[in-house]
Amino acid sequence: MDEPVLLTGAAGRVGRAILDGIGGQYDWRLLDREPPTDDLPSDDYVVADVTDDEEIREAMDGVGAVVHLAGDPRPEAPWDSVLENNIDGARAVFEAAVNAGIEKVAFASSNHAVGAYENDRTPDIYRTGDDYRLDGSELPRPSNLYGVSKAAGETLGRYYHDHHGLSVVCVRIGNLTKGHPPIDYERGQAMWLSYRDCAHLFDRCLRADYGYEIVYGISDNDRKYYSLERAREVLGYDPQDNSAEFDDA
C-alpha cells in the first residue's frame, strides 16, 4: 500500500501491539487524543479526537486505509462516555472514510459484544473438551454498555458497507496481553491474543480483500470458544501462538 494507513487510538495497547509487529511495513499516520510519547514515532502524528468531525476529515486526507481503535476501552465505562467516544466516534470515522474515498476500514470490536453467550455455559466453555464456538454469524449479546457500543460500531460498519460500498472488517478482540497469557485464568487463556498474532491479524485486515466481515481476534489456543475459521478463510490469518504453550509456567 503506497498511501499512509491511519491508525486511530495509536497510543493504546492494541495500537502498540500493531506498531511493535508491523510498524516497519506501512507508512503510518498515527492519531490519538494525547501527544506522542518517546516510544511512538512522531513524524506523522495527529493529536485529535475522533468525535470531532472536522479533525477526522483532515486526518483522512491522503490515506489509503484506516485501522480504527480509538474509544473508551473500559468495560465499566458509563453510557455517556461510550455513546460519545465509541458510537459517535465510530460514525465519524466511517463517514469521513467514505467522504475521503477510502475503501477499507478495520474496526476494533470486542469480546464484550458477545460476552453474554458465556452466561449459562461457564466454566465448560473455556475448556478443551467443549466444542461450542462463536463464529461471527451470531447476533450480538453484549455483557456491558461497552459491549453495546462495540455492537453498535459493527452495525455502523454494516451500514456504511451496504450503502456506501466501504469494505469493513470488525475484529472482536479477545484478551490481548504482552508476554504470556494469564496462567490461572481459564477465560483469559481461552480468549488470549498475543502481540505477535494481533499485529499479524491487522496486517491481514489491511492486505486481504473482503466486503463486510466479523472475525475473532484470538491466538490459536487449545482452549477456545471463538472460531478462527472465518479469519483464516477470508483474511489468511495464520496465528502462531497458543496459550497452552504456557501451561507448565
Which H/E stretch holds residue 45?
strand 45-47
Q: Produce one character per residue of 127-158: b if its CB has 16 or more CB atoms within 10 Å, e if not.
A: eeeeeeebebeeebbbbbbbbbbbbbbbebbe
3-state helix, strand, coil in the chain (%, to 5): 40, 20, 40
Query: Catalytic: 126?
Result: no
Q: Checking phi first, is residue 202 left (phi over 0); if not, alpha (psi -120 to 50) or beta? A: alpha
Report yes or no: 45 and 30 within 8 Å, Cβ to Cβ.
yes
Burial class (CB in 10 A: 0-12, 13-18, 19+), 172: buried
- The CA distance from 123 to 220, in Å, is 19
Which H/E stretch holds residue 200?
helix 195-207
**Residue position matching grid coordinates 475459521:** 229
Cell numbers placing 1: 500500500
Q: Checking phi first, is residue 20 left (phi over 0); if not, alpha (psi -120 to 50) or beta? A: alpha
Q: Which of 146, 160, 216, 225 is catalytic?
A: 146
Report yes or no: 175 and 191 within 8 Å, Cβ to Cβ.
yes
Instruction: Tell me the catalytic residues.
Output: 146
